[in-house]
Structure 1
Amino acid sequence: KQQQLQAEIEQVKHDIQTKKMELELARKVRQHNEEYEVLRHLLVKNPPRAATQAEIDRVNGNIQKITAQGNKVAATMQKRRQQFALLFHVIEELQRCTEDSEEHLGEEAQQMEVDS
């Protein structure tokens, strides 16, 4: 009877050790499941990769359009600068010609007075 009792005690100790190992394994599985659940929530919050890539492509297209518009505006501005520079040059030339004509007319008028 003593041996049977001792055998049962040993069996219970073995069962306890087995259950402790099962409990530790269950705790690890539960911890992993909780970590996976947190990651799943993070993934669900973000849009799918295809949608994100489509948005990136759309923004890049807008950037290219805006860059092209900026280049076009810069070219127009450069053309206008050149046109204004030419305009001011022509105005200066006209003023110089007008001044020269006025001087020449003044000299002719003086010459006519002297001749008269």
Structure 2
Amino acid sequence: MLAKGRKIAGRGEEMAAHYAFGPLEDDVIIKHRLLTRTTTTRGEPPLKKLQKKFVSFALETEKEADNLNDCERLYKAFLQEIATFELPLLKSKAVVDANIREKENFNELQEEIQRQISQAQADIEDLKKQLEESKIERQHKEECEAIRKLIALQPPRSETQKIISDLEKEIATLEAENAACVRTLDLRKKQFSLLLHVVDELQNTIEDEQKSLADELRAVMEEQKISIEDGSGGGSEAMLVD
């Protein structure tokens, strides 16, 4: 049995040596070392010490001699070693539970941070829209201010209304003068047309008179010619009679 216990212990040492030199099995090595606590305590590993206590107690119980006191002593030592081995396990479990709670808190915190990031992004988009609206509103205000300044440079409404009234009166006067000029122009056109008609009639009359005068002159000349011819014929006859 002792040889068997030694064989088991040797197998554990061989496994530890095997895993200690496995470069591609880091997770397995770390898990094995945490379970066996081969690197977290000084001296002999707790699991190996517990194994030795158990083997010693088992070997003592298999003896035929009257060794009740030794068995009880080894049993108590084994229980004490179990309690000693269990305490780090409880601490490790507490650490694991704390890590789980911390992970849950971290996940909740991460979700909260993500929610805040999403809310911040939404707020940024809203602020961008508000900024664009503010720019447009400011531009409108600047345009209104420019228009107000232009209006302020203009004369008062009463003065403008007086100027408009004066201009309307002047326009009415000019329209009346224009109407009078139009009537005068129409009258002048009619008078000029009448004058042209009179001149035309006068010219026709002069031409007719000139024609009549020419006809009369021609008739007188013909009469004189006839008279001369008649006078010439009578003298010839008188000369012939003589």
> Counterpart in 2 of 1:105?
231
CA RMSD of superposed structures (Å): 3.2
Distance between the aligned counterparts of 1:10 and 1:102, measured in 2?
129
> Counterpart in 2 of 1:40?
none
The one-letter code matched in structure 1 to 2:138 is K
Structure 1 residues 65 and 103: alpha-carbon distance in aligned structure 2, compared to 1, 3 A threshold: same
> Counterpart in 1 of 2:139?
20
Structure 2, unaligned stretches of length 5 or more? 1-119, 151-166
Q: State the TM-score, normalized to the length of structure 2.
A: 0.34
Higher alpha-carbon deviation: 48-57 or 81-90:
48-57
Deviation at residue 76 of structure 1 after TM alignment: 1.1
Matched, 1:96 2:222: yes
Deviation at residue 52 of structure 1 after TM alignment: 2.1
> Counterpart in 1 of 2:107?
none
> Counterpart in 2 of 1:114?
240
The one-letter code matched in structure 1 to 2:203 is M
> Counterpart in 1 of 2:73?
none
Q: Which structure would you say has the larger Rg?
A: 2
Distance between the aligned counterparts of 1:9 and 1:56, measured in 2?
69
Give structure 1 regions of 4+ aligned residues with deviation exceeding 4 angstroms.
Answer: 5-12
Matched, 1:54 2:180: yes
Structure 1 residues 111 and 76: alpha-carbon distance in aligned structure 2, compared to 1, 3 A threshold: same
Deviation at residue 55 of structure 1 after TM alignment: 1.5
Higher relative contact order structure (alpha carbons within 8 Å, sequence separation ≥ 6)? 2
The one-letter code matched in structure 2 to 1:88 is A
Q: Deviations over 1:66-93 (max 9, x none)?
A: 1101101111111111011000001001
SS of the counterpart of 1:20?
helix
- Count of paired positions: 96
> Quick one: percent identity of the two aligned structures?
8
> Counterpart in 2 of 1:41?
none
Distance between the aligned counterparts of 2:181 and 2:138, measured in 1?
53
Distance between the aligned counterparts of 1:17 and 1:61, measured in 2?
66
Q: State the TM-score, normalized to the length of structure 1.
A: 0.66
Structure 1, unaligned stretches of length 5 or more? 31-43
Deviation at residue 58 of structure 1 after TM alignment: 1.4
The one-letter code matched in structure 1 to 2:133 is H
Distance between the aligned counterparts of 2:241 and 2:138, measured in 1?
138
